[in-house]
C-alpha cells in the first residue's frame, strides 16, 4: 500500500479488512463526523442521487412530527444550518498549517465524485430557490393564521365539553349540547386538516430547498476540486531540508510537489540527508539558545489550546448567564456588568470563573425574590378569598337558620394555596343559586295560586327574614373586614391589601323591588367571583408550572456549570503540573547540552540566520498573497452583489416591457384597422375629386348659358330697383300727407298703411330673391370665367369631406377616452361594491362567531333558560367573549391585509393603463397636411 506521508490514500470502509483511519477523533474545525462510524458527505449514497440527472427525491415525514417543535430548528429561509454544532474558529487553522493541509487533502478526496453542473442547471436551481423562498414565506404566514384559528376552535371545544358544563345544562338542553359539541368537533377537525396540509406543504418546500442547497454546495466543491493544483516544490538551492525542515513539518507544505499525478513516485524511499541531522533536536535547541526563545512542546501547545478553548466556552456561558439574569428582571438588571473577555492571560480563566460564581449567586437571589413575590401574591389572594367566603358563610348560615342542612364554615388560611378557598366559594355559589331558584319558584307559585292573606303574610314574613339575614350577613362581613384592616394597620410588616367596601345603606327598608335587586346583585357578584375564580386557578397553575420549570432549568444549569467549573479547574491544575514538568526537563536538557562545540554553534547560527531570513521572506510573500486574495474576494463579492441586483432589476423590467409590448401590439392592431378604414375613405374621396373635375368641365359649359340669363336678370333687377325707388317715394309722400291730415291717429295710419306695408314686404322679398339669384349668377359667372377658382371650389369640397373624416376619427378617439373614463368609473363602483361585500362578510363572520356552537337562537334561549337556575352558562362567558374578540381581530387583520394587497394591485393596474394610454397617443398617426391647411 502506498502512502503520501500524511494520511492513508484509501478511505476506510466498515468491514474488518479495510485499513483503519489515522485519527479516531473529529477535527476541531470540521462540521462533518470523523472517526469510526462516521462519514463525510462524499460517502453518503444520497449524495449521488440528488442531482437533477438522477431525479432523486427526499422522504417527507408526516405533518404532526414537526408541528409542535418547529421553533427550535436551525432552518432559515435559505441555507440549512445544522443544530448543536460549535462555532467555527479560523484562528487555530491560520496558526496550524498541518491541520489546514489535512483538511485540504480530505476535502479534495471527498469531493472527487461530486457532480459538476452546467451554467444553465446552476441558474435554474438558483431561480427555483428564489421561487421556493417566496413560497416559503407565504405558506408560513398562512400556517400561522390557520394555527390561530385551530387554537381558537380547540379552546371553544374545551369550553363546550361535558366536564365544563355538567352543572350548567339541564335535561332540556341536552340535545342542544350534543349538537353544539358535534359542531365544535367538526370545526376543530377541519382546522386540524388545514394545519396538517399547510405543515406538509411547508416541509416539502423546506426539503426541496435543502436538496437545492446541497446540490449547489456539491457543485461548488466539485469545481474547486477540479481546479485545485496545490503548492509545487521550489527549485532554489537555498530551500534544502535542513535541521528544522523535516518532511513532516509545517514548513514542508510549501516545499514539496503536491500534484496527485506524482504521489506514487518514490515516496517510500530512504532520505540520506538524515545522516547529517543533529541528534535529539540539537538544531532547535541551539536556535533557542542563540535567540533566547523557546518553542513549547506539542503537549504544552495542546494544553494552551485547551485553556484558550475553555476560556472561550466560559465566556459564552457567562454571556448566556447574563442574558438569563437580564431576562429575569429587565428593570433592575438592565445595566448588569458584561463578562470579561477571553485572553491568553493565565488569569483569564480565574476571572471568568469568578464572574460565573457571582452570576450564579445573583440568579439564585433573583429566584428567591421571585418566589417571595409569588408567595406574597398567593397569600394576598387567599386572604381576599377568605373574606369573601366569610360573607358567603354568613349569608348561607342565616338562610338555613329556619331548618335544613348544616352549613360548613369556610376553611382557615393555611398558606399552602387557595384551592380549598376556591372550592368552598364554588360550593357556596352553587348553594346560593339553588336558594335563589327555590325562592323564585315559591314566588311563582304564590303568584299563580293566589292564596289567601294568611299565606301572603307567611311569605312576606319569610322574605323579611331573608332580608334581615342578608343585611346581618353583610354587616358581619364588613365588621370582619374592619377588624382585619385594623390588624393589618397594626402590623407594619404585613403587605396584604383588602378590597374597598361597597356602597351600602344600613337603614334600607324591605320591599320586593329592593329584595329582587339585592338577590340579582348577589347573583351577579357570585357570577363575577366564579369567573375570577377560574382566572385565578389558571394563573396559579401557570405560575406553578413556570416556577417548577424555571427551578428545574436553573438547577440543571447550575449543576452543569459547576461540573464545568470543576473540570476546568482540574484541567488547569493538570496543565500547570505538565508545564512545570516540561520546564524541569528543559532545564535538565539545557544543562546536559551546555558544553557543545563553539564551531558547531557558529555554523548552526549562520545556517539559522539564513533560514530565518528565507522564512521571513516567505512569510512576507504569503502575507502579500493573502492580502491580494482578500482584495480579490471582496471585489468578487461586490461584483456578484451588483450582478444579482442588476439581474433582478432586469427581470422586473423585462416583465414590465413584455406587458407593455403586449398592450402596444393590441393597440397597434386596432390602430392599423382604423388606418385601413381611413385609407379606404381617402380612396373614395379621390374618386369623388375626379368626378368633381368632370363636373367642373360640365359647369363651364353651363356657365356660358348662365351668362346670358345673368344679363337678362340684371336688366330686370335695374327695372325693379327703379320701381322700388318710385314706390318708396310715393309712400313717403303718402305718410307725410296722412300725418298732416290726421295727426297722431295711429289706428287709421295702421289700417291705411297695411296694404302699402304688405306691398313693400312683397317687394322686399322679391328683391331678396333677386339678389340671391344675382349672387348665384355672379358665382356661376366667376366659376365660368375662372377655371382655377372652380377647381379650388371642388378642392374645398374634398377638404371639407376630409375634415369630416378627421372629425369623425376625433369623435372615435373621444369615444374611446370616454369609454376609458366610464370603465374607470365602473371599476371604482366595483371596488366600492367589493368593499361593501367585505364589510358584509366581516359582519357575517362576527355573527357566525357570535352564534358559534349554537344551532339557532331558540335553542340558545332554551339552553339559557334551562341553565339559569344553576348559573353554569355564564361560566365560560368571559372566555368565549375573549375568543370572539381574538377571532374578530384576526379576521380584521386578514381583511386589512387583503385590502392592502388589492389596493396595491389596483394602483399598479392604473399605472399600466396610463402607460398604455400614453403609448396609444404616441402611436396615433400625425394629422395630414390637408387638415392643417383647412384649419389654417
**Most trustworthy range by pLDDT among 36-40, 389-393, 863-867:** 389-393
Same domain, 422 and 515: yes
792-824 pLDDT tens trace: 777 788 878 778 877 877 887 787 788 778 878
81-122 pLDDT tens trace: 444 445 555 565 666 778 888 888 888 888 888 889 999 999
**What distance in Å separates the CA atoms of residue 805 and residue 682, rounded to the nearest whole number?**
9
Same domain, 391 and 427: yes
597-640 pLDDT tens trace: 556 667 666 766 776 777 677 667 767 767 776 776 777 676 66
Counting other chains too, the contacts that 162-167 makes at CB distance below 8 Å and 24 or more residues apart are: 164/875, 164/876, 165/867, 165/872, 165/873, 165/875, 165/876, 166/872, 167/430, 167/870, 167/872
- Residue 234 banded pLDDT, cuts 50, 70, 90: very low
Domain assignment of residue 868, yes or no: yes
Domain assignment of residue 79, yes or no: no
- Residue 725 banded pLDDT, cuts 50, 70, 90: confident
pLDDT > 80? residue 584: no
Same domain, 628 and 726: yes
**What distance in Å separates the CA atoms of residue 332 and residue 10, rounded to the nearest whole number?**
61
Domain endpoint, select from 202, 228, 254:
228
Domain endpoint, select from 731, 751, 785:
785
Note the pLDDT of residue 196.
94
Higher pLDDT, 554 or 908: 908
Same domain, 564 and 493: no
Domain assignment of residue 802, yes or no: no
Domain assignment of residue 334, yes or no: no
pTM (global) more than 0.85: no
Same domain, 403 and 503: yes
pLDDT > 50? residue 172: no
- What phi and psi values does residue 75 have, to the nearest 5 degrees? -110, 130
Same domain, 245 and 198: no
Same domain, 687 and 701: yes
pLDDT > 90? residue 254: no
431-477 pLDDT tens trace: 887 777 787 887 777 666 655 556 667 777 777 777 778 777 777 77
Note the pLDDT of residue 299.
58
Domain assignment of residue 759, yes or no: yes
Helix H segments across 400-452?
A: 419-449
Domain assignment of residue 817, yes or no: yes
Domain assignment of residue 625, yes or no: yes
Note the pLDDT of residue 205.
94
Counting other chains too, the contacts that 398-407 makes at CB distance below 8 Å and 24 or more residues apart are: 398/466, 398/468, 398/469, 398/470, 398/472, 398/473, 399/435, 399/466, 399/469, 401/469, 402/465, 407/431
pLDDT > 80? residue 379: no
Same domain, 637 and 712: yes
In terms of phi and psi (left: phi > 0; alpha: psi -120 to 50; beta: otherwise), the region of 530 is: alpha
Helix (H), strand (E), coil (C) string for 162-193 = CCCCCCCCCCCCHHHHHHHHHHHHHHHHHHHH
Name the β-bridge partners of 3: 8
**What distance in Å separates the CA atoms of residue 54 and residue 543, rounded to the nearest whole number?**
55
DSSP 126-140: HHHHHHHHHHHHHHH
Determine what percent of the chain is predicted with pLDDT higher than 70: 59
Query: C-alpha angle with apex 561: 555 to 564, nearest 5 degrees?
Result: 145
In terms of phi and psi (left: phi > 0; alpha: psi -120 to 50; beta: otherwise), the region of 404 is: left
Domain endpoint, select from 785, 800, 834:
785
Output the nine-digit C-alpha cell for 532.
375570577
pLDDT > 70? residue 908: yes
**What distance in Å separates the CA atoms of residue 163 and residue 181, rounded to the nearest whole number?**
12
Same domain, 150 and 214: yes
Its domain, for residue 541, covers: 371-551
331-371 pLDDT tens trace: 777 778 788 877 766 677 778 788 888 888 887 787 777 77
Q: Quick one: which of 384, 368, 391 has its CA closest to 418?
A: 384
Domain assignment of residue 137, yes or no: yes
679-690 pLDDT tens trace: 677 777 777 777
Same domain, 771 and 822: no
Note the pLDDT of residue 272.
46
Number of domains in the chain: 6
Same domain, 359 and 223: no
Of 25-29, 152-156, 277-281, 750-754, where does mean pLDDT reach its minimum?
A: 25-29
Same domain, 56 and 200: yes
Question: Please, what's the largest Cα pairwise distance for the chain?
Answer: 177
533-558 pLDDT tens trace: 788 788 787 777 777 776 677 777 77
33-47 pLDDT tens trace: 433 334 433 333 333
Query: C-alpha angle with apex 515: 514 to 521, nearest 5 degrees?
Result: 90
Amino acid at each position: 500500500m502506498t502512502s503520501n506521508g500524511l494520511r492513508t490514500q484509501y478511505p476506510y470502509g466498515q468491514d474488518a479488512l479495510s485499513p483503519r483511519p489515522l485519527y479516531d477523533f473529529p477535527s476541531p474545525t470540521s462540521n462533518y463526523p470523523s472517526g469510526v462510524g462516521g462519514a463525510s458527505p462524499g460517502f453518503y449514497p444520497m449524495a449521488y442521487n440528488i442531482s437533477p440527472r438522477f431525479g432523486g427525491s427526499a422522504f417527507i415525514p408526516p405533518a404532526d412530527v414537526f408541528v409542535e417543535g418547529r421553533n427550535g430548528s436551525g432552518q432559515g429561509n435559505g441555507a440549512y444550518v445544522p443544530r448543536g454544532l460549535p462555532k467555527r474558529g479560523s484562528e487555530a487553522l491560520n496558526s496550524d498549517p498541518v491541520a489546514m493541509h489535512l483538511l485540504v487533502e480530505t476535502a479534495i478526496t471527498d469531493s472527487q465524485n461530486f457532480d459538476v453542473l452546467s451554467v444553465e442547471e446552476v441558474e435554474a436551481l438558483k431561480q427555483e430557490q428564489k421561487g421556493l423562498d417566496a413560497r416559503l414565506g407565504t405558506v408560513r404566514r398562512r400556517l400561522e393564521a390557520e394555527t390561530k384559528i385551530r387554537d381558537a376552535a380547540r379552546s371553544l371545544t374545551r369550553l363546550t365539553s361535558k366536564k365544563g358544563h355538567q352543572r350548567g345544562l339541564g335535561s332540556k338542553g341536552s340535545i342542544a349540547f350534543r349538537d353544539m359539541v358535534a359542531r365544535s368537533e367538526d370545526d376543530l377537525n377541519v382546522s386540524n386538516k388545514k394545519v396538517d396540509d399547510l405543515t406538509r406543504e411547508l416541509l416539502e418546500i423546506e426539503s426541496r430547498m435543502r436538496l437545492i442547497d446541497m446540490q449547489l454546495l456539491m457543485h461548488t466543491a466539485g469545481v474547486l476540486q477540479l481546479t485545485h493544483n496545490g503548492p509545487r516544490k521550489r527549485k532554489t538551492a537555498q530551500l534544502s531540508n535542513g535541521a528544522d525542515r523535516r518532511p513532516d513539518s509545517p514548513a514542508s507544505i510549501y516545499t514539496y510537489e503536491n500534484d496527485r499525478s506524482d504521489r506514487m513516485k518514490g515516496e517510500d524511499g530512504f532520505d540520506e540527508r538524515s545522516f547529517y541531522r543533529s541528534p535529539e533536536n540539537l538544531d532547535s535547541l541551539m536556535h533557542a539558545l542563540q535567540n533566547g526563545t523557546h518553542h513549547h512542546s506539542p503537549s504544552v501547545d495542546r494544553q494552551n489550546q485547551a485553556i484558550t478553548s475553555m476560556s472561550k466556552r466560559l465566556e459564552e456561558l457567562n454571556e448566556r448567564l447574563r442574558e438569563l439574569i437580564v431576562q429575569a428582571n429587565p428593570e433592575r438588571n438592565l445595566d448588569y456588568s458584561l463578562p470579561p473577555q477571553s485572553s491568553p492571560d493565565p488569569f483569564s480563566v480565574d476571572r471568568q470563573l469568578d464572574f460565573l460564581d457571582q452570576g450564579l449567586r445573583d440568579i439564585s437571589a433573583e429566584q428567591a425574590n421571585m418566589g417571595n413575590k409569588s408567595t406574597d401574591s398567593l397569600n394576598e389572594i387567599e386572604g381576599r378569598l377568605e373574606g369573601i367566603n366569610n360573607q358567603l358563610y354568613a349569608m348561607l348560615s342565616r338562610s338555613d337558620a329556619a331548618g335544613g342542612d348544616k352549613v360548613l364554615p369556610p376553611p382557615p388560611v393555611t398558606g399552602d394555596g387557595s384551592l380549598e378557598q376556591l372550592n368552598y366559594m364554588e360550593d357556596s355559589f352553587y348553594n346560593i343559586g339553588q336558594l335563589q331558584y327555590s325562592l323564585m319558584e315559591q314566588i311563582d307559585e304564590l303568584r299563580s295560586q293566589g292564596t289567601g292573606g294568611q299565606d301572603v303574610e307567611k311569605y312576606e314574613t319569610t322574605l323579611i327574614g331573608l332580608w334581615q339575614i342578608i343585611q346581618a350577613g353583610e354587616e358581619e362581613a364588613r365588621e370582619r373586614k374592619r377588624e382585619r384592616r385594623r390588624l393589618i394597620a397594626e402590623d407594619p410588616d404585613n403587605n396584604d391589601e383588602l378590597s374597598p367596601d361597597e356602597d351600602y345603606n344600613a337603614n334600607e327598608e324591605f320591599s320586593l323591588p329592593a329584595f329582587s335587586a339585592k338577590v340579582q346583585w348577589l347573583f351577579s357578584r357570585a357570577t363575577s367571583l366564579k369567573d375570577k375564580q377560574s382566572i385565578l386557578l389558571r394563573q396559579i397553575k401557570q405560575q406553578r408550572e413556570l416556577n417548577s420549570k424555571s427551578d428545574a432549568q436553573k438547577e440543571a444549569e447550575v449543576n452543569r456549570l459547576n461540573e464545568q467549573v470543576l473540570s476546568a479547574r482540574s484541567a488547569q491544575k493538570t496543565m500547570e503540573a505538565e508545564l512545570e514538568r516540561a520546564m524541569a526537563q528543559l532545564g535538565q536538557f539545557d544543562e546536559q547540552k551546555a558544553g557543545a562545540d563553539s564551531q558547531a554553534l557558529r555554523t548552526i547560527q549562520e545556517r539559522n540566520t539564513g533560514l530565518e531570513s528565507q522564512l521571513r521572506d516567505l512569510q512576507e510573500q504569503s502575507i502579500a498573497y493573502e492580502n491580494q486574495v482578500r482584495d480579490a474576494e471582496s471585489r468578487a463579492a461586490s461584483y456578484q452583489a451588483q450582478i444579482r441586483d442588476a439581474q433582478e432589476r432586469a427581470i422586473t423590467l423585462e416583465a414590465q416591457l413584455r406587458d407593455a409590448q403586449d398592450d402596444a401590439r393590441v393597440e397597434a392592431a386596432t390602430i392599423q384597422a382604423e388606418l385601413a378604414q381611413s385609407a379606404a375613405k381617402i380612396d373614395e374621396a379621390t374618386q369623388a375629386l375626379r368626378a368633381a373635375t368632370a363636373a367642373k368641365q360640365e359647369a363651364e359649359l353651363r356657365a356660358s348659358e348662365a351668362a346670358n340669363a345673368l344679363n337678362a336678370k340684371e336688366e330686370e333687377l335695374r327695372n325693379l330697383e327703379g320701381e322700388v325707388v318710385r314706390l318708396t317715394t310715393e309712400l313717403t309722400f303718402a305718410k307725410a300727407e296722412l300725418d298732416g291730415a290726421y295727426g297722431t291717429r295711429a289706428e287709421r295710419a295702421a289700417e291705411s298703411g297695411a296694404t302699402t306695408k304688405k306691398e313693400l314686404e312683397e317687394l322686399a322679398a322679391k328683391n331678396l330673391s333677386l339678389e340671391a339669384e344675382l349672387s348665384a349668377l355672379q358665382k356661376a359667372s366667376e366659376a365660368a370665367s375662372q377655371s382655377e377658382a372652380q377647381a379650388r371650389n371642388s378642392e374645398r369640397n374634398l377638404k371639407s369631406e376630409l375634415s369630416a373624416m378627421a372629425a369623425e376619427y376625433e369623435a372615435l378617439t373621444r369615444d374611446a377616452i370616454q369609454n376609458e373614463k366610464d370603465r374607470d368609473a365602473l371599476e371604482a363602483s366595483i371596488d366600492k361594491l367589493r368593499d361593501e361585500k367585505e364589510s358584509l362578510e366581516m359582519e357575517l363572520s362576527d355573527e357566525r362567531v357570535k352564534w358559534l356552537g349554537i344551532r339557532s337562537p331558540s335553542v340558545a334561549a332554551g339552553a339559557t333558560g334551562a341553565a339559569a337556575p344553576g348559573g353554569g352558562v355564564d361560566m365560560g362567558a368571559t372566555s368565549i367573549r375573549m375568543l370572539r374578540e381574538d377571532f374578530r381581530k384576526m379576521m380584521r387583520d386578514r381583511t386589512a391585509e387583503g385590502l392592502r394587497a388589492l389596493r396595491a394591485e389596483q394602483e399598479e393596474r392604473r399605472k399600466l393603463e396610463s402607460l398604455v394610454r400614453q403609448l396609444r397617443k404616441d402611436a396615433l398617426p400625425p394629422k395630414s397636411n390637408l387638415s392643417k391647411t383647412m384649419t389654417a
